[in-house]
Amino acid sequence: MNGKLKNAPAQPAGLLVDSVWSTATTGVTVGLQMVEIMILSRVLSKELLGSYFLVTAFPEVVQGVLDLRLQEVMIKYLIGFIRSGEIERVSALVKVTWIVSAMTGILIVVIVAVTASLASAIVNGAASDRLMLLYAFGLFLGSLQGRSGAIIRAFNRFDLNFWIALVIAVLRLALVVAPVLLGFGLSGLIEGRVVAQCIGSVIIGTTSYLLLRARVPLDLWVPLGVLRPIWKEIVHFSFHLNLASIAKSLAQRADTIVVGTLMNPGGVAAYKVIGQLGRALYLISDPLTTAAYPRFVQLTSRGDVAGLNRMARRASVMVGLALIPALLVCTIFPGLLVHAFAGPQYIGSAWLLPLFMWTNVAGIVFFWTHPYLLSVGLPQYSSLANIIGRLAGILAFSGLVVSSSLPGAAIGSGLPAAFSTVVALWLISRLPRHGQSAPASHVTPHPKTISSEECS
């Protein structure tokens, strides 16, 4: 019934080596996005840049609500299926993931088409409903890669991940900035984002498919029924991931809508530009999150919970030490940094930078809490922490914006992540002192190991 692997993946390198590639990938992606903001903040007025952020915010909220976190599902089950030699299920998993991703992309377009006028009215007409629909179409094009970046993660191709991310980031920068410099305005900017989404989807999807096809004898005509014995388990895992994703996405993207509702587009631009610089601190923890989750899964599958706990503690210490100099520099020299990043028109808001940074510290230092809960087979705990923490955080954020305007927004920007982290730590602390085993799963890890990295 099952095929055989053409090439067994290499034994995983250490977390530090994985994190070096992951850091380079995240650095390239976020770094070029920051260059993008640096250029746009100098070329566009505050009002026009604020409108751009509002146009993209609502479709991304819809996307976040519908995101089933299929990349985590793919990682968990793809690794297990390959280890146990269940190759037919690999083919079925790839197929069902692509189908669901494409259907989700279509649903995003439909929802935005129906509600764009209302969303525009909520932000006092500062976002064009036509441009929101166009951007939603770009999100649909991006969904057609079917979360296939997780395949790169499953085969430990950190180097390939870096080069793909570099190419996509450079293309996005060119396609976003060029229309603005050529005078095509906000419409050209959104059109550039749509084209970038399409090209990125083609690059990630094609590369991932060829990588998997070179190692696994894929048969996309395999019936989805081969997954029937574990549908309940997959749905349970995906359901709780989706709950967590909805809460997280609402907190991460609804903040722009809240600011746009209570303030003018100029205030939105200041919030997003200074906040982008402030959240650059996540460059320290995000690469570790990408590299740590598959490691956590591997340690848990071997029953090495002591090693899992040890890795989590060391990761927090490492991130905390890396944060100290960054926080000091940004607290002492905010004006210099903001002027260099966004230009003189934002210098008046430079003092907000330390507020953005300090409020995000807890979420950065304890970045591993949610991957930890997923790896030990407790997605319901992760969803609970996200729902309670993120929703409480966005409510606190809204209250701070109402009471204190931009300073309140800066302080509140990190509260959803902080509250979620606190709840997750509390739940982890209530687990058995000496660790816990993941619930029994049909996907039994094979003794052969496989590592992973995801294409951002």
For residue 434, is it within any domain? Answer: no
Q: What is the pLDDT of residues 155-182, one digit of tens each?
A: 767 778 888 989 999 999 999 999 999 9
Q: What is the pLDDT of residues 344-364, one digit of tens each?
A: 888 888 899 999 999 999 989
For residue 4, is it within any domain? Answer: no
Q: Which whole-number Å values give the CA distances from 111 to 59, 72, 107, 123, 195, in the listed order?
A: 9, 25, 6, 18, 21
Q: What is the pLDDT of residues 390-430, one digit of tens each?
A: 889 989 999 999 998 889 999 999 999 999 999 999 999 88
Percent above pLDDT 90 for the chain: 26
For residue 447, is it within any domain? Answer: no
Residue 114 has pLDDT above 80, yes or no: yes
Q: Which whole-number Å values give the CA distances from 218 to 81, 148, 314, 384, in the listed order?
A: 13, 14, 39, 37
For residue 9, is it within any domain? Answer: no
Phi-psi region of 124 (alpha: psi -120 to 50; beta: other; left: phi over 0): left
Using 50, 70 and 90 to split pLDDT, how confident is the model at 321? very high
Domain encompassing residue 199: 15-429
pLDDT of residue 449: 30
Residue 453 has pLDDT above 50, yes or no: no
Residue 433 has pLDDT above 80, yes or no: no
Task: Spell out the residues 6+ positions from residue 213 whose beta carbon is closer than 8 angstroms to its own.
Answer: none
The tally of domains found in the chain comes to 1
Nearest Cα residue to 255 out of 285, 275, 240, 241 = 275
Q: Which two tokens stand for residue 162?
A: 């870096």
Q: Which whole-number Å values give the CA distances from 133 to 50, 59, 82, 119, in the listed order?
A: 18, 8, 40, 11
Q: What average pLDDT score do residues 42-54 get?
A: 89
SS3 assignment for the chain: CCCCCCCCCCCCCCHHHHHHHHHHHHHHHHHHHHHHHHHHHHHCCHHHHHHHHHHHHHHHHHHHHHCCCHHHHHHHHHHHHHHCCCHHHHHHHHHHHHHHHHHHHHHHHHHHHHHHHHHHHHCCCCCCHHHHHHHHHHHHHHHCCCCCHHHHHHCCCHHHHHHHHHHHHHHHHHHHHHHHHCCCHHHHHHHHHHHHHHHHHHHHHHHHHHHHHHHCCCCCCCCHHHHHHHHHHHHHHHHHHHHHHHHHHHHHHHHHHHHHHHCCHHHHHHHHHHHHHHHHHHHHHHHHHHHHHHHHHHHHHCCCHHHHHHHHHHHHHHHHHHHHHHHHHHHHCHHHHHHHHHCHHHHHHHHHHHHHHHCCHHHHHCCCHHHHHHHCCCHHHHHHHHHHHHHHHHHHHHHHHHHHHHHHHHHHCCHHHHHHHHHHHHHHHCCCCCCCCCCCCCCCCCCCCCCCCCCC
Least confident interval from 229-233, 244-248, 270-274: 244-248
Q: Which two tokens stand for residue 382?
A: 């992760």
pLDDT of residue 194: 94
pLDDT of residue 11: 39
Provide the whole-model pTM: 0.70
CB atoms within 10 A of CB 434: 8
Count the alpha carbons within 13 Å of 305 in the hemisphere toward its beta carbon.
Answer: 13
Residues 272 and 414 sit within 8 Å (Cβ to Cβ): no
Residue 203 has pLDDT above 50, yes or no: yes
Mean residue pLDDT across the chain: 81
Residue 7 has pLDDT above 50, yes or no: no
Q: What average pLDDT score do residues 250-255 get?
A: 76
pLDDT of residue 18: 61
For residue 40, is it within any domain? Answer: yes
For residue 76, is it within any domain? Answer: yes
Query: If you search the block for the tokens 């002591």, which residue do you land on?
Result: 306
For residue 53, is it within any domain? Answer: yes
What gap in Å lies between CA 214 and CA 294, rounded to an integer? 22
Residue 451 has pLDDT above 90, yes or no: no
Q: What is the pLDDT of residues 283-320, one digit of tens each?
A: 778 777 777 777 787 788 778 888 888 888 988 998 99
Residues 376 and 434 sit within 8 Å (Cβ to Cβ): no
For residue 139, is it within any domain? Answer: yes
pLDDT of residue 144: 83
